[in-house]
Structure 1
Amino acid sequence: MKPIATRSDCPISFSLDIFGDKWTLLILRDMILHEKNSFSEFMNSAEGIASNILIDRLNTLHSQGFVTKKASELNKSKFLYTMTEKAIDLVPVLVDLMEWGEKYNKKGEPKALLAKILKNRDKTIREIQEKLREKRYQPSAG
């Protein structure tokens, strides 16, 4: 795994060095909003990520401490990914992106979650984060 080369000390530049491609945040979105946690589940996302790119992004998220990776108890050749606290801290960022995207792309989704966010953003963020934290400590056979 090649290390991520940072271009400067700027916080925005640092963030883009990790999340500046068009797939990484979508993988995290799928983990947060759609409870996906395996390679095959990520492959079934609507955007159609190529398998080699998915492997690379999952490996980067793992090596950078955003996800843990473990073999499924039911199928040792299947790996399951779980978000770390570092990734859970990104929920407000993804919520901000959802709000912005909905404002300028009225075809966006998920409408029910967006309505909940617009009603009480902070409470909804806390609920999402708490659910993700609980899931981290639940055994998953996958």
Structure 2
Amino acid sequence: MAASFSTAKLAPTAPERFNRLRKPLGVTSFGINQLVLEPGQRMRIHEHERQEEVYLVLAGRLTVAFEDGEHDFGPDELIRIAPEVRRSLLNRGPERLSVLALGGYGEHEPRDARAYAAWDGEPQSVADVPLPDDLPASELRSA
């Protein structure tokens, strides 16, 4: 079992528009929130000093308003917005909108992971450890 991990759950509905996930997860290097907007709801116009944001539409249709117009995004679509760009998130659709919002600042440190070919193996570069074989049918769980 992992020495340290935490969990959080996305909200199908939310009493508030923000479902804060960073703090219950203990995340310190980036922000993570779920936004739940009912039809006709919107968020405030905002920008950031340093933090870029990525929005992943989970359900519904997200409209992002900018000073020069609007763009729509559906489920499984992502949008990245630079810090200095003013934006507002809106739900112009007939159904509830659920969006995962990720925000961060600073340079990403790529490939800082170590990989193992087996639980009792030695750490290696991720590039040196091939992906494992798929699980056999006998190890799959039923729904």
Structure with the greater relative contact order (CA < 8 A, sep ≥ 6): 1 or 2? 2
TM over 0.5: no
- The TM tier, using the shorter chain, reads under 0.3
More helix by share: 1
